[in-house]
Each structure stands twice: as structure tokens, then as C-alpha cells.
Amino acid sequence: MPTTTAPVTEVVDRLERASLLDPVVKGLRSLTQKVLAPQGIRDALHGVWLGHPLHPVLTDVPIGAWSAAAVLDAVPGTGIGASTLIATGCAAAVPTALTGWADWSDLHGPHQRVGVIHAAANVVALGLYTASLGARMRGRRVRGKALAYAGFAAMSAGGYLGGHLVFRQGAGANHGADIPDLFPSGWHDIGRLDDLPDGKPAKRTVEGVDLLVVRRGQHVDVLSDKCSHLSGPLSDGEFTVEGGQGCIVCPWHGSTFRLADGAVRHGPATSPQHRFETRVTGGRLEVSLGGG
Ligand code: FES
């Protein structure tokens, strides 16, 4: 059966491959590395403290305020309410953009190309809404409404691209969410304990599910190998000790997870890794996700 693709999706798919955007992406990426260098700031902007990406939470404010203003602008006598909502949206757009910028800097090339246009649409929207506020303050209400509706169109285009980034390209989603569905119940043999390297990450696989295994002496930690951020292979990462606790650093974008429980120490990941229970039987290591 022939498959059909919506014309708008085809355009965005082309955007993902538009290498023309790469010089802009590169310039913005190096700017990000300078401006958002401190790990604590990056973690806060990613939403590590929240256990959820912060950007989609904040986007609700400008999108909600500007959408409500569009409704009020169609109702006579609600000019002050519309202006207040537009000002609220403009104020909220700044921290929202900062969180998006931090998330964008740790994505792959196709994400970043779409992300640049997403950001450009939102910058245009912010400019138009700011101009609309200025026009309203000067008493030019018709012009203020026209600018706000133009801003609404730009915001909608930006919102569409943001949705594409998340739902089509998987940015911000938890890439380890399906592990409990894929991993078979019960205990599973993953080989001899003594065959594992000491203090180095190793990979083992159970029925297609890759596991990160780190042995330190007789102690073993096992996490899902697929990084929750964008599926990077943690077994290719680096073992490190932070705050006295063993951690693994993802080789792709540096997310750091505590081995003891899979918790996120540093982003861009915000979802923890699944941790597996272990036991040693006759010198062989066994793992289970639920202890069944
Ligand atoms: S895939 Fe991005 S930090 Fe692991």
C-alpha cells in the first residue's frame, strides 16, 4: 500500500537534511559552549533538578499567554487584558529560550538544523509581540493587533517545529522508557563474574536488550546501556567517581548517571537509567529487572 506524507512534513524532513544551515549551527554551538559553560547552569536549564526537561514546561507560559491574547484581541473592550497577556508572554519567552538553547546544544545535527529554524520563528514572534506592545502603548491599537496576529503565526510555526523535534525526532523524550517492556522477566545469566574487567564499563546483552556492566572487585552494577537522553551507548562511556560514588559518563553528550541507582548526576539527560538487580550463582552473574 503506498504511503503518503503530509506536504508540511516533507518540508520539515528536508530541513533536517539542510546542510546549508550547518555554519549557523556551528557558530551557535560554539557560542553556547562559552555562555552556558558552567555545568550547574546547564543542569538547571536542562531540568535535571526537576527530573523532566524544563523547556516544555516553560513554553506553556508564552504560548498560553499569547494564544489567550489572540482571543481577547477579537473581543471588543479587552485591550488591557490582551496587552497584559502579551507582556507576560514576552517576559516568559526569555527564560524559555534559555532552556531551549541549552537542550538544543546537546542534540544531533538533524535536530539542530530544525532547532535553529524553530528558534528563529520564536525570535520573530517575540519581536512582533514586543512591537505590538509598543504600538498599543502609543495608542495604535489596530497596528498592535495586526502585529500580535503576525506574532501568533510565527509562534505557531515555531511550535509546530518544536513538536516535530520532540514527537518525530525524539528530542527530550526518555529513550529508555521501553526497557521494562522489552526486558524478559526473571533472572538471566550474563556470563562469568571473573570475565568482567575491573573498574571498566562492559556490555552484555539479554534478548536484544543491551546492558552496561561495571565490576569493582566483587561488586557489580548493571544499568540499561541505552542512554535515556538520545540512546548513546553507556558501555562506551567513562567510569568516574563523583561525590564518592561510582558514575558512568555517556560518550555522546556527557550525561552522567550514578551506578548505584541510575540517577542523573548531570544532564542533558533528565530521566534515570533503569538499574538491574544482580546475583552471583556458581561464579556466574545473573541480572533481573524486577527481582522475579
Ligand atoms: S545520548 Fe546524549 S548524553 Fe547520552
Q: What is the largest CA-CA distance in the chain?
A: 83
Q: Which of 111, 169, 250 to mutate to test the pocket of ligand 1 (most atoms within 8 A of CB)?
A: 250
pLDDT-derived band at 292 (thresholds 50, 70, 90) equals very low
Compute the average pLDDT of residues 19-47: 93
Does residue 2 have a pLDDT over 70?
no
Q: How far apart are alpha carbons 39 and 81 in whole angstroms?
A: 40
Out of 28-37, 80-89, 247-256, least confident range: 28-37
Does residue 5 have a pLDDT over 80?
no
Compute the average pLDDT of residues 151-161: 97
Compute the average pLDDT of residues 146-167: 97
- Per CATH, the homologous superfamily of domain 179-288 is Rieske [2Fe-2S] iron-sulphur domain (2.102.10.10)
Classify the C-alpha dihedral 177-164-94-132 as positive or negative. negative
Classify the C-alpha dihedral 84-86-91-92 as positive or negative. positive
For residue 250, the ligand 1 atom closest to its alpha carbon is: 4
* Cis peptide, bond prior to residue 268, ω within 30 of zero: yes
Residues having CB closer than 6 A to ligand 1 are 227, 229-232, 250, 252-255, 268-269
Output the CA 254–ligand 1 centroid distance in Å.
6
Q: How far apart are alpha carbons 151 and 135 in whole angstroms?
A: 13
Higher pLDDT, 7 or 182: 182
For residue 269, the ligand 1 atom closest to its alpha carbon is: 3
Residue 36: name the closest of 49, 45, 23 by CA: 45
Compute the average pLDDT of residues 35-55: 95
Ordered alpha helix ranges (H), 19-140: 22-35, 39-46, 55-72, 79-104, 109-137
Does residue 3 have a pLDDT over 90?
no
Q: Which of 48, 108, 227, 270 to mutate to test the pocket of ligand 1 (most atoms within 8 A of CB)?
A: 227
Does residue 97 have a pLDDT over 80?
yes
Does residue 1 have a pLDDT over 60?
no
For residue 232, the ligand 1 atom closest to its alpha carbon is: 1
pLDDT tens for residues 189-231? 999 999 999 999 999 999 999 999 999 998 999 999 999 999 9
pLDDT at 245: 94
Output the CA 269–ligand 1 centroid distance in Å.
7
pLDDT tens for residues 270-284? 999 999 999 999 999
Compute the average pLDDT of residues 149-156: 98
Q: Which of 39, 105, 230, 271 to mutate to test the pocket of ligand 1 (most atoms within 8 A of CB)?
A: 230
For residue 237, the ligand 1 atom closest to its alpha carbon is: 4
